[in-house]
Chains A and B, each alone.
Chain A
Amino acid sequence: MMSTASKCVESCIRTKLQNRFNPKVLQLINESHMHNVPKDSETHFKVVIVSDEFEGMPLIKRHRLVNAILTDELKSGVHALSIVAKAPTQWKDDPIESSPNCRGGFGK
């Protein structure tokens, strides 16, 4: 199996989510720079995804679906994945908040 080379993690995640959920909105934000990791790391991401599939679906189930698609990434190098998963009827084009700042626990 090909290893997930650095730099391609973001595009791998994007492709997987695109293919699986056919999203109306898909934003992938690399928040690794906010954490105590080497420059250009791909360890901390925020996913904003709007898909018809999430209509009427409990929040926890939406998150489980997204996590399940990204199991390999979460096991290999992706350390944090913040998820905003909404149905189109719930989506407002508001600015997405940044995740909370690191408090130093990574790598411990």
Chain B
Amino acid sequence: MLSINKTTRIGSLNAYKQFLCTKSDDPIQSHIGKLVKGNKIVVFMKGNPQAPRCGFSNAVVDILNIHKAKFEAHDVLIDENLRNGIKEFSNWPTIPQVFVDGEFIGGCDILLQLHRSGELDKILEKNTQEKPVA
């Protein structure tokens, strides 16, 4: 009886451990969790802002520059773990990805539409301490 009990307890302990093994236990996921909060605006892109390696990434950089927004960029082409990890982190299958105040905003299409509708101003303004001078 005792041994059965023990097995059962170990089994449920393993199940509990599995349950606890959430995204934050995955080193790359917790790393990304810190990266997205590393700056008000964080972009995961192909290439760097000076030399984007993808038209969609280039468009995101252009839009943020139009808004004179300062942002931190991470090149997924130099880190395969980051490239795969960011897709899992945000549950979003493509690059680039834009985060504002740690929150996923979208990729190129969404940023472009937010830019055109004027909503991007509000999103960035809300997250910028210094109000633009009129």
Q: Spell out A's residues near B (CB within 8 Å).
A: 34, 59-60, 63-64, 67, 71, 74-75, 80-84, 99-106, 108
Q: How far is the CA of A105 from the CA of B53 in the complex (A)?
A: 4
Residue of B nearest to A67 (CB): B93
B5 interface residue per 8 A CB criterion: no
Q: Can you list 9 A-B pairs with a CB-CB distance of less than 8 A? A: A59-B114, A71-B93, A80-B94, A100-B56, A100-B108, A103-B58, A105-B57, A105-B77, A108-B77
Report yes or no: B77 in contact with A82, Cβ–Cβ below 8 A: no
Q: Are A81 and B93 in contact (CB under 8 A)?
A: yes
Q: Is the interface of B mostly helix, strand, loop or mixed?
A: mixed
Interface, chain B (partner A; CB < 8 A) = 46-47, 52-59, 77, 91-94, 104-110, 113-114
| Minimum-distance CB pairs A-B, first 8 | A100-B55, A105-B53, A105-B46, A74-B93, A105-B54, A101-B55, A108-B77, A100-B59
Contact of B47 among A60, A75, A103 (CB under 8 A): A103
